[in-house]
């Protein structure tokens, strides 16, 4: 049984931990507001750009002269999985859920006879993928020195992906990130980004719009918009990840704070019982000694 000094030391240690988790919870809550606003403000732009892309793509006949980002390579043998994680921990299952979704997709593709490569963004989650697929990591994009990954990082990632695509390193690219729903819910999401898929909803409604004439032609506009569309998708994913990370961190730190409080309560009860037992033992010894005299 632990001594009174050991119990008191444990209580003080847990109290110190509780102060840290409470502080991190408050910091995450403050950052969450800003990150959530940024993610929500980016969604209408991405949705509208997707509608424009769908409208244009529906008017273009895909051929050898079509932009490669839209037409593809003509094969789907090599798949590149772009896994976007954070650089920090203490955010619950945020990173592990993204990695789990990517690993499941990789296993499914390999079962179909496809070749799978990885492009990793952020430090967290690398260990699992390195252990499961040690020879299949194509590139790792480091965001350690960036406080809040934004459009500049999305642009760099997009340029590197396009360069790899043009070199024939892969045929299809999928992006994995966490879509922010609420502070309690972050949904792991996987979507194809290369070749750029035609947004179905926009393509379906494109024929209902008024007749539009484009100058220059649709294919030239698409060639200019496709790289921007790719950057927008990556930028949106980084913003969704940032909001999801803060939401997951706030929830995890809140749970940790509550658990620390419960542990403090249990240790305090145990300390009081041990202290009372020690006092009772001393009284019994004093009384027994007095009676012996």
Name the average pLDDT for the chain. Answer: 83
91 is catalytic: yes
> What's the pLDDT score for residue 205?
43
45-91 pLDDT per residue, tens: 888 887 777 777 777 666 666 777 777 778 888 999 999 888 887 78
Mean pLDDT for the stretch of residues 111-129: 88
User: In a 10 Å sphere around its CB, with 0-12 CB exposed, 13-18 middle and 19+ buried, how is residue 84 labelled?
Assistant: buried
> What's the pLDDT score for residue 203?
44
233-261 pLDDT per residue, tens: 889 888 988 888 888 889 889 999 999 99
**Active-site choice (91, 154, 162, 202):** 91
Band (213; pLDDT cuts 50, 70, 90): low
* Long-range CB contacts for residues 263-271, cutoff 8 Å, separation at least 24: 263/14, 264/11, 264/14, 264/15, 264/18, 267/7, 267/10, 267/11, 267/14, 268/11, 270/2, 270/7, 271/4, 271/7, 271/8, 271/11
> What's the pLDDT score for residue 206?
45
CATH superfamily of 39-252: ATP synthase, F1 complex, gamma subunit (3.40.1380.10)
Coil, strand, or helix at residue 31?
Answer: helix
Whether the Cβ atoms of residue 232 and residue 196 lie closer than 8 Å to each other: no
Band (140; pLDDT cuts 50, 70, 90): confident
> What's the pLDDT score for residue 81?
92
Coil, strand, or helix at residue 116?
Answer: strand
Whether the Cβ atoms of residue 242 and residue 176 lie closer than 8 Å to each other: no
269/145: higher pLDDT = 269
Highest mean pLDDT among 63-72, 196-205, 223-232: 223-232
14-49 pLDDT per residue, tens: 999 989 989 988 988 888 888 888 888 888 888 888
Domain edges within the chain: 4-21+253-292, 39-252
Residue 292 token pair: 């012996």
> What's the pLDDT score for residue 68?
77
Q: What is the pTM of this model?
A: 0.80
Beta bridge mates, 118: 81, 137
147-165 pLDDT per residue, tens: 777 788 888 889 999 888 8
Q: What percent of the chain has pLDDT over 90?
A: 16
202-211 pLDDT per residue, tens: 444 444 555 5
Other CB atoms within 10 A of residue 6 CB: 12
């Amino acid at each position: 049984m632990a001594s009174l000094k050991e119990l008191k030391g444990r209580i003080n240690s847990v109290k110190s931990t509780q102060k840290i988790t409470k502080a991190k919870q408050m910091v995450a809550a403050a950052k969450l507001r800003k990150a959530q606003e940024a993610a929500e403000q980016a969604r209408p732009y991405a949705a509208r750009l997707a509608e424009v892309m769908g409208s244009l793509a529906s008017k273009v006949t895909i051929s050898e002269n079509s932009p490669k980002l839209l037409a593809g390579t003509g094969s789907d043998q090599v798949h590149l999985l772009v896994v976007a994680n954070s650089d920090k921990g203490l955010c619950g299952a945020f990173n592990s859920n993204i990695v789990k979704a990517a690993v499941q997709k990789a296993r499914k593709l390999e079962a179909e006879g496809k070749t799978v490569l990885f492009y990793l963004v952020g430090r967290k989650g690398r260990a699992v993928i390195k252990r499961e697929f040690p020879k299949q990591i194509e590139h790792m994009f480091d965001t350690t020195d960036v406080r809040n990954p934004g459009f500049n990082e999305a642009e760099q990632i997009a340029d590197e992906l396009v360069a790899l695509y043009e070199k024939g390193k892969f045929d299809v690219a999928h992006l994995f990130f966490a879509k922010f729903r609420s502070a309690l819910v972050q949904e792991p999401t996987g979507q194809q980004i290369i070749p750029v898929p035609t947004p179905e909803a926009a393509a379906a409604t494109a024929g209902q719009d008024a007749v539009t004439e484009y100058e220059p032609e649709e294919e030239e506009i698409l060639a200019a918009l496709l790289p921007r569309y790719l950057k927008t998708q990556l930028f949106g994913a980084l913003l969704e990840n940032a909001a999801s990370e803060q939401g997951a961190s706030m929830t995890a730190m809140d749970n940790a704070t509550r658990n620390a409080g419960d542990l403090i309560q249990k240790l305090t009860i145990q300390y009081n019982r041990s202290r009372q037992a020690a006092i009772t033992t001393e009284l019994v010894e004093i009384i027994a000694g007095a009676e012996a005299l």
